[in-house]
Amino acid sequence: MALVVQKYGGTSVGSVERIQHVARRVKKYRDAGNEIVVVVSAMSGETNRLIGMAKSISGSPSAREMDVLVSTGEQVTIALLCMALHELGCEARSYTGPQVDILTDSAHSKARIMNIDQARVRADIEAGRIVVVAGFQGVDEYGDITTLGRGGSDTTAVAMAAALKADECQIFTDVDGVYTTDPRIESKARKLDQITFEEMLEMASLGSKVLQIRAVEFAGKFNVPLRVLSSFAEEGDGTLITFEGKGVEAAKIAGIAFNRDEAKLTVRGVPDQPGVAYKILGPISDANIEVDMIVQNIAHDNTANFTFTIHRTEYVKAKQILQNVAEALQAQEVLGDEKIVKISLVGVGMRSHAGIASRMFAALSKEGINIQMISTSEIKISVVVDEKYLELGVRTLHEAFELDT
């Protein structure tokens, strides 16, 4: 008998009918001989409805009270799912985050889980019950309700699985697994049976938004086997996210990720001296603008060019900040481009296999795609190109690395 934690997201529980569908899924796994803990999100639309009411009262509502407000969303789902399970003859019991002591820090709306008291859940499992837990929420040391931020239900599920030493944590989504790239871009994209945690981290942060990145980190840290499955398809084993080297000969390249919504900013001709990077990025970070790639290289006249990418929606704001910074630094000018995309090759295999980068650049060059920026990590190579090359670039690389077979 295996202990499985299953997580169903907002779309999967978006109506009474879908909640009943989830109940049937849960029962099926249960009837197959598993012990089940279910983590659920708020019904899709509910969180936005609640936020809408708050925003009509206050432009900047208190983070503490927002958490009190939005945490009701999952609480509604856990109760309804238990009722649906009861109707199918399953014994089930619901718990809010505070009720099972999902202890977090006090960072309202983006709290981090510190501990889970699994005694109560364990007792229910041993009594033969299905346990239904509200995702996304917890309680801090003062007894205040906290939330983990959007998508945090994935993290709840992984944390529950870690606390209970579950055999598997199954994340049900609207896709049936992790693909070599987005099937809407490359029809030959192939579902991966498994992928390593590190690859998954790179894939997730680069735009294949299947799982919340913090959940994947968490799973890696606590050695929780994670599986992504479709909550709509009746069949299929999804994609298992594995620990590297666990008897698996890792494929060289796992897949191709991309991000459409990037913009690029360059400060040209900054003095090549210590502290410049901080002077440029400090004000950007103070304005809560997240920076993605950062590239700096020396120009010919003892000055450097400093380039970074950000989310496209922050472009205007970031450019304004940079104009002031450039003046203070006596830089030559600020250049920008908001029509760029990032394409990344991801795979643990590239660590031990030389020539991946050159093969990537050759393939893009052959199609006449100009590379504007390059950034590499141990298991990832990212390039920035003109946004018009997104589809062509992804397909070219998918074929060059034979990902369809």
Interface positions with a copy of itself (CB under 8 A): 16, 19-20, 50, 53-54, 56-58, 61-62, 64-66, 68-69, 71-72, 75-76, 78-80, 82-84, 86-87, 93-94, 96, 98-99, 120, 143-145
Residues 8 and 80: their CA atoms lie apart, in Å, by 13
Burial class (CB in 10 A: 0-12, 13-18, 19+), 319: middle
**Nearest residue (CB) to a copy of itself, 65 versus 337:** 65
CB of 144 to a copy of itself, least distance (A): 8
Phi, psi of 99 (to 5 degrees): -65, -30
Per-residue buried b or exposed e for 3-17, using 16+ beta carbons within 10 Å of the residue's own CB: bbbbbbbbbbbbeee
**Nearest residue (CB) to a copy of itself, 22 versus 201:** 22
**Nearest residue (CB) to a copy of itself, 66 versus 254:** 66
**Nearest residue (CB) to a copy of itself, 73 versus 238:** 73
CB of 277 to a copy of itself, least distance (A): 39
**Nearest residue (CB) to a copy of itself, 53 versus 233:** 53
Q: Of 379, 386, 295, which is closest to residue 340 (Cα–Cα)?
A: 386
CB of 28 to a copy of itself, least distance (A): 18
**Nearest residue (CB) to a copy of itself, 57 versus 328:** 57
Q: Residues 47, 134: contact at Cβ < 8 Å?
A: no
CB of 118 to a copy of itself, least distance (A): 14
CB of 166 to a copy of itself, least distance (A): 23
CB of 6 to a copy of itself, least distance (A): 19
* Per-residue tokens: 318: 């970031």
Residues 212 and 40: their CA atoms lie apart, in Å, by 14
DSSP at 100:
G
CB of 3 to a copy of itself, least distance (A): 22
- Give the Cβ contact number of residue 21 at 10 Å: 17
**Nearest residue (CB) to a copy of itself, 15 versus 323:** 15
| Alpha-helical segments (H) within 175-230 | 197-205, 213-221
DSSP at 371:
P
Residues 203 and 211: their CA atoms lie apart, in Å, by 9
**Nearest residue (CB) to a copy of itself, 132 versus 160:** 132
Residues 247 and 180: their CA atoms lie apart, in Å, by 21
Q: Specify the amino acid at residue 395.
A: R
**Nearest residue (CB) to a copy of itself, 13 versus 397:** 13
- Give the Cβ contact number of residue 282 at 10 Å: 13
| Bridge partners for 35 per DSSP | 3
Q: Cα torsion at 156, 157, 161, 164 (round to 10°)?
A: 60
CB of 340 to a copy of itself, least distance (A): 40
Location of structure tokens 């987005």: 182
Q: Residues 201, 243: contact at Cβ < 8 Å?
A: no
CB of 47 to a copy of itself, least distance (A): 12
